[in-house]
């Protein structure tokens, strides 16, 4: 299957339009650099009773910087789920369940119409074409509201938690609206749970030096990931994946490895900035990434990658389907269904569905072959804790994940197939550069990845923020200033949006 | 208790403002200092487009024959040959990736700081009447944004250019992908950087590249170059500027690979527009039928001659220019 041409054209138009809107309030924009300190300063200056209102107003401004009218859609879903939460708290039995379903269906309807309608009609038209029926697809061409998938899932999480009795319904509309719209995590998560975030809007946070510096450090690390690593690698990846057949096997391999780092740094960089920005104001958001490429298995990878989404799917899809409790075959089906939906959540394209299914297959295969692999390692003398075994497992996991990223990044399944089948073909070391990534950028890109890995290993070994805190102030400040200057000088500032914004 | 909390909050607030504010002030100072150092470094470079612009704004060129135009101008005219054959000091202002708007800007900056030349040779392209959508290698202009002749056209193309002018480092990091800032800082280190441009001339390697073959695969229909009213106006402005300064102007359409000429659908329209702009006053020397225009061994790609082609063309052109100068100036002929 492939994305029909009409669908692709719509997608391209959407990308163009979104690009023209989105530049206004990206975390890596000058506008945000002005907006954030002002919002934070006023947040701490106004009396406590006004703080949540101020945050809501600031979040509205942030959201409206993209497409102002779309705030009405967000408002509608907020109203629906807010009301549903109250009624679920009041009602019992079938009525309670009915309200839950009304809330889920209406919230998902918005997501469906904006995100999947064109995809479904295009796919249906393609399917009809296979049977010889000429059915033109109905294409809306609507632009996807920014972060729709994220705040939809956050809203659904609230309604579900209220239904399961794990969360009291929120009666204050302002607080609930702020929970959905809290600007640091509005457009790309982390997808918060009401138990973690909702109560924080009632607390009176004082301006704390440690929070501010910790938050700013976290933001700086996020900017490093986004500007220095992700956006530099994107120059290469975008060139190669735009027309894979124009590049040799070495370039395809480099682009694939680069994409693994690009998407990680892009998304985890966003999460770091979001978590850091919230921390400056005293809020604690959940961790979204825990060095996923250090995982020893694909299942571990999914416990470390986009944790807020993985746990969402686990809690609200995988477990309700029966999880691993209902026999091996059913367990495998549950995994495949969960990952297929997760793939579809990432985008209305068959590449994403296949990417999700492939990850599901990895997990199914992993659980079926576990004993066999343990025996194999034992036979060659590699015990569970040996470095050799860990190295093999880590490398295998990384390669499997990279293979899946090819499907994720390719524009079509045909492109993905081309990349996979040509990775080993015609390596030409004299032709590594691409039109937008000259060879002189390669050392910077490699050094950026090395610095990232070094920073992460340091952080794993000993929390380096705590270590740095022990340093004398002049040394500490010199280190901070050098880091900030390095991000400034080696960053790429082309107004590139965060990859996960489109989901 | 409440009082304690309020006092501690206030002292924390002061700590945040003083420490974070102090740190940001240091970063801001560093940013300004680094920006100044990079600019100073780039402005002392003898090599690259920076070296050329440095010589322009320092007024140290003062040539009698000035060549202006795009990368085709930069790579087609060897000032050494022109100077040798005409006896007049020549300099090439050709800019890679530039359109008429920026070519005119560079020429105006040149005329402001240097002695007026006797002749401006403006090299024409099929895309002469198209204006710039995106400035090529914008960092090359950043150290000179205080020059209004350069700044105003840049602002017209990119209204955000003010950020590069007023925000320290912005032009070097946000708008530049070529690490020009490293070049600026390296200028303070001992050891001269090699000068890849010879009086503005940018010779291209002899090898015929695959560019044209690749380009042809992307073509679905013959090429049509826009003739924009703004492009016409800019060319008329060029004629006006030269006339006002009493400078002789020659339009030259330097050699273009023959196959590419045939792929251009509206070539006749473009040349008719050249004629209209020249309005019988400015001579147009068309080298479309250059004897080697069919021979790829003289070219680097469809638009650019290689070093061998440029030497041959510069010799042909210089001979004609010498005759033209002698015809224009009998005293010059007598002196020779």
Q: With a cut of 50, say whether residue A20 has pLDDT above it.
A: no
Predicted confidence at residue B209, as pLDDT, reads 78
Q: How many interchain CB pairs under 8 A, A with B?
A: 51
Predicted confidence at residue A500, as pLDDT, reads 52
Which chain B residues are within 8 Å of A213, Cβ to Cβ? 19-20
Kindly indicate the confidence band of residue A122, based on its pLDDT and cuts at 50, 70 and 90.
confident
Pure H helices in A131-230: 148-163, 173-181, 194-197, 209-223
Tokens of B176: 């530049």
Q: Determine the Cα–Cα distance for residues A251 and A425; give it in Å rounded to an integer.
A: 10
* Alpha-carbon distance values, A158 to A85, A202, B120 (Å): 8, 17, 73
> Residue A492 and residue B177: Cβ atoms within 8 Å?
yes
- Nearest residue to A113 via CA among A136, A82, A144: A144
What is the pairing mode between strands B284-286 and B119-123?
unpaired
Nearest CA in chain A to B23: A477
Kindly indicate the confidence band of residue A172, based on its pLDDT and cuts at 50, 70 and 90.
very high
**CB B116 within 8 Å of CB B244:** no
> Residue B15 and residue A44: Cβ atoms within 8 Å?
no
Nearest CA in chain B to A477: B23
Element (H, E) at B225: none
Closest in B26, B169, B181 to A477, CB measured: B26
Task: Count CA within 13 A, CB hemisphere, residue A252.
Answer: 24
Q: What ipTM does the predicted assembly reach?
A: 0.74
Predicted confidence at residue A257, as pLDDT, reads 95
- Coil/strand/helix, residue B35: helix
DSSP B143-163: GGTT-HHHHHHHHHH-TTHHH
- Which residues are paired to A426 by β-bridges? none
Closest in B5, B16, B169 to A212, CB measured: B16
Q: Determine the Cα–Cα distance for residues A399 and A285; give it in Å rounded to an integer.
A: 31
- In tens digits, chain B (336 residues) has pLDDT values of 444 555 566 777 788 888 888 999 999 999 999 999 999 999 998 878 898 999 999 999 999 999 999 999 999 999 999 999 999 899 999 998 889 999 999 999 999 999 999 999 999 999 899 888 888 888 899 999 999 999 999 999 988 889 899 999 999 988 787 888 988 998 888 876 666 778 899 998 878 877 777 777 777 788 888 899 999 999 999 999 999 988 999 999 999 999 888 888 888 999 999 999 998 889 999 999 999 999 989 998 888 999 999 999 999 999 999 999 888 776 555 555
Q: With a cut of 50, say whether residue A10 has pLDDT above it.
A: no
Q: Determine the Cα–Cα distance for residues A172 and B198; give it in Å rounded to an integer.
A: 73
Tokens of A492: 């790429």
Predicted confidence at residue A276, as pLDDT, reads 94
Which chain A residues are within 8 Å of B96, Cβ to Cβ? none
Q: Determine the Cα–Cα distance for residues A419 and A409; give it in Å rounded to an integer.
A: 10
The one catalytic residue among A19, A306, A346, A436? A346
Q: What is the pLDDT of residues A444-477, one digit of tens each?
A: 999 999 999 998 888 777 777 777 778 888 888 8
**CB A72 within 8 Å of CB A60:** no
Q: Determine the Cα–Cα distance for residues A460 and A220; give it in Å rounded to an integer.
A: 18
Predicted confidence at residue B334, as pLDDT, reads 55
**CB A70 within 8 Å of CB A115:** no
Mutation for A interface: B10, B25, B27, most A CBs within 10 A: B27
Q: At B195, give phi and psi (nearest 5°).
A: -95, 105
Nearest CA in chain B to A491: B173
Straight-line distance from the first to the last Cα atom of chain B, in angstroms, rounded to the nearest whole number: 100
Contacts for A67-76: CB closer than 8 Å, 24+ residues apart: A67/A21, A67/A143, A67/A145, A67/A146, A70/A145, A70/A146, A73/A110, A73/A114, A73/A145, A73/A148, A74/A145, A74/A151, A74/A180, A74/A181, A75/A177, A76/A110
**CB B65 within 8 Å of CB B321:** yes
**CB A62 within 8 Å of CB A35:** yes
Q: At B123, give phi and psi (nearest 5°).
A: -80, 130
Predicted confidence at residue B26, as pLDDT, reads 93
Q: What is the pLDDT of residues A25-52, one digit of tens each?
A: 677 777 888 889 999 999 988 988 899 9
Q: What is the pLDDT of residues A325-351, one digit of tens each?
A: 878 888 889 899 999 999 988 877 888
Predicted confidence at residue B332, as pLDDT, reads 53
Sheet containing B90-92: order of strands? B90-92, B65-68, B119-123, B248-253, B284-286
Answer with the residue of higher pLDDT: B292 or A122.
Answer: B292
Q: Which of A129-143, A242-256, A280-294, A395-409 has the lowest mean pLDDT?
A: A129-143
**From the CA of B91, how many Å to the nearest CA of chain A?**
30
Q: Determine the Cα–Cα distance for residues A192 and A154; give it in Å rounded to an integer.
A: 6
Predicted confidence at residue B210, as pLDDT, reads 76
**CB B130 within 8 Å of CB B228:** yes
Predicted confidence at residue A12, as pLDDT, reads 45
**CB A261 within 8 Å of CB A452:** yes
Across residues A277-293, what is the average pLDDT? Answer: 93
**CB A181 within 8 Å of CB A59:** yes
Predicted confidence at residue A70, as pLDDT, reads 84
The separation between CA B320 and the C-alpha centre of its own chain, rounded to angstroms, equals 25
Q: Determine the Cα–Cα distance for residues B323 and A43; give it in Å rounded to an integer.
A: 77
- Cβ neighbours of residue A471 under 8 Å, at least 6 residues apart? A479
Q: With a cut of 60, say whether residue A8 has pLDDT above it.
A: no
- Which residues are paired to A26 by β-bridges? none
Answer with the residue of higher pLDDT: B157 or A22.
Answer: B157
Q: At B321, give phi and psi (nearest 5°).
A: -65, -40
- Cis amide linkage into residue A436, ω under 30° from 0: no
Q: Determine the Cα–Cα distance for residues B70 and B103; give it in Å rounded to an integer.
A: 7
Q: With a cut of 80, say whether residue A413 has pLDDT above it.
A: yes
* Alpha-carbon distance values, B20 to A37, A124, A472, A473 (Å): 11, 57, 16, 13
- Cβ neighbours of residue A20 under 8 Å, at least 6 residues apart? none
Predicted confidence at residue A371, as pLDDT, reads 85
Q: Determine the Cα–Cα distance for residues B98 and B172; give it in Å rounded to an integer.
A: 19
Question: Average model confidence (pLDDT) for chain A?
Answer: 85
């Amino acid at each position: 299957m492939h994305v029909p041409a009409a669908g692709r054209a719509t997608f391209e138009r959407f990308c163009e339009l979104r690009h023209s809107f989105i530049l206004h309030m990206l975390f890596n924009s000058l506008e945000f650099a002005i907006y954030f300190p002002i919002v934070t300063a006023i947040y701490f200056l106004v009396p406590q009773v006004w703080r949540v209102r101020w945050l809501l107003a600031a979040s509205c401004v942030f959201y409206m910087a993209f497409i102002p009218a779309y705030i009405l859609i967000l408002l509608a879903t907020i109203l629906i789920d807010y009301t549903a939460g109250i009624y679920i708290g009041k009602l019992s039995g079938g009525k309670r369940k009915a309200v839950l379903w009304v809330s889920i269906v209406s919230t998902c309807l918005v997501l469906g119409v904006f995100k999947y309608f064109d995809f479904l009609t295009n796919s249906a038209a393609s399917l009809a074409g296979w049977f010889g029926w000429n059915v033109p697809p109905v294409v809306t061409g609507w632009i996807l509201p920014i972060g729709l998938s994220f705040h939809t899932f956050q809203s659904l999480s609230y309604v579900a938690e209220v239904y399961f009795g794990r969360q009291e319904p929120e009666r204050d509309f302002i607080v609930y609206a702020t929970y959905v719209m809290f600007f640091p995590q509005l457009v790309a998560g982390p997808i918060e749970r009401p138990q973690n975030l909702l109560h924080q809007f009632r607390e009176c946070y004082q301006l704390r030096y440690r929070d501010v510096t910790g938050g700013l450090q976290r933001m700086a690390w996020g900017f490093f990931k986004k500007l220095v690593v992700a956006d530099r690698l994107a120059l290469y990846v975008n060139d190669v994946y735009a027309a894979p057949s124009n590049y040799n096997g070495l370039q395809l391999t480099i682009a694939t490895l680069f994409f693994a780092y690009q998407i990680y740094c892009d998304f985890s960089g966003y999460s770091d900035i979001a978590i850091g920005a919230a921390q400056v104001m005293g809020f604690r958001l959940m961790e979204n990434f825990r060095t996923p490429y250090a995982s020893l298995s694909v299942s571990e990878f999914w416990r470390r990658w986009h944790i807020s989404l993985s746990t969402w799917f686990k809690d609200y899809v995988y477990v309700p389907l029966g999880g691993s409790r209902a026999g091996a075959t059913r367990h495998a089906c549950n995994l495949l269904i969960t990952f297929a939906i997760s793939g579809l959540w990432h985008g209305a394209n068959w590449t994403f569905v296949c990417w999700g299914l492939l990850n599901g297959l990895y997990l199914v295969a992993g659980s079926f072959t576990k004993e066999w692999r343990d025996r194999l390692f034992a036979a060659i003398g590699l015990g569970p804790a040996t470095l050799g075994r860990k190295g093999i497992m880590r490398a295998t996991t990384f390669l499997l994940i990279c293979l899946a990223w090819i499907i994720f990044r390719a524009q079509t399944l045909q492109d993905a197939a081309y990349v996979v089948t040509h990775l080993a073909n015609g390596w030409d070391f004299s032709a590594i550069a691409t039109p937008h990534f000259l060879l002189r950028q390669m050392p910077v890109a490699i050094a950026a990845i090395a610095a990232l890995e070094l920073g992460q290993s340091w952080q794993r070994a000993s929390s380096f923020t705590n270590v740095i805190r022990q340093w004398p102030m002049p040394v500490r400040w010199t280190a901070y200033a050098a880091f900030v200057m390095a991000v400034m000088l080696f960053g790429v500032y082309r107004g590139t949006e965060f990859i996960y914004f489109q989901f | 208790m409440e009082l304690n909390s309020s006092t501690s909050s206030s002292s924390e607030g002061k700590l945040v403002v003083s420490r974070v504010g102090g740190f940001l002030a240091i970063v801001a100072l560093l940013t300004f200092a680094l920006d100044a150092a990079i600019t100073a470094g780039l402005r002392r470079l003898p090599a690259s487009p920076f070296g050329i612009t440095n010589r322009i704004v320092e007024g140290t060129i003062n040539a009698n024959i000035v060549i202006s135009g795009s990368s085709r101008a930069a790579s087609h005219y060897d000032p050494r040959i022109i100077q040798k054959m005409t006896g007049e000091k020549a300099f090439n202002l050709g800019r890679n990736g530039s359109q008429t708007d920026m070519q005119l800007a560079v020429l105006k900056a040149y005329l402001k700081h240097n002695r007026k030349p006797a002749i401006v040779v403006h090299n024409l392209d099929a895309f002469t009447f198209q204006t710039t959508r995106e400035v090529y290698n914008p960092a090359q202009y950043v150290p000179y944004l205080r020059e209004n002749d350069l700044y105003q056209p840049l602002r017209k193309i990119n209204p955000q250019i003010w950020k590069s002018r007023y925000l320290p480092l912005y032009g070097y990091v946000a708008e530049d992908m070529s690490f020009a800032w490293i070049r600026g800082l390296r200028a303070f280190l001992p050891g001269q950087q090699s000068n890849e441009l010879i009086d503005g001339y940018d010779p291209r390697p002899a090898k015929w590249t695959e560019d044209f073959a690749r380009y042809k695969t992307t073509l679905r229909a013959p090429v049509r170059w826009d003739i924009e009213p703004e492009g016409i106006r800019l060319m008329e402005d060029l004629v006006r500027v030269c006339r006002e300064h009493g400078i002789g102007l020659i339009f030259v359409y330097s050699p273009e690979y023959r196959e590419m000429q045939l792929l251009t659908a509206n070539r006749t329209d473009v040349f008719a527009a050249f004629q209209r702009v020249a309005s019988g006053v400015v001579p147009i020397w068309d080298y479309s039928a250059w004897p080697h225009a069919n021979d790829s061994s003289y070219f680097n790609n469809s638009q650019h001659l290689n070093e061998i082609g440029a030497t041959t063309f510069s010799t042909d052109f210089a001979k004609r220019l010498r005759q033209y100068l002698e015809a224009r100036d009998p005293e010059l002929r007598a002196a020779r």
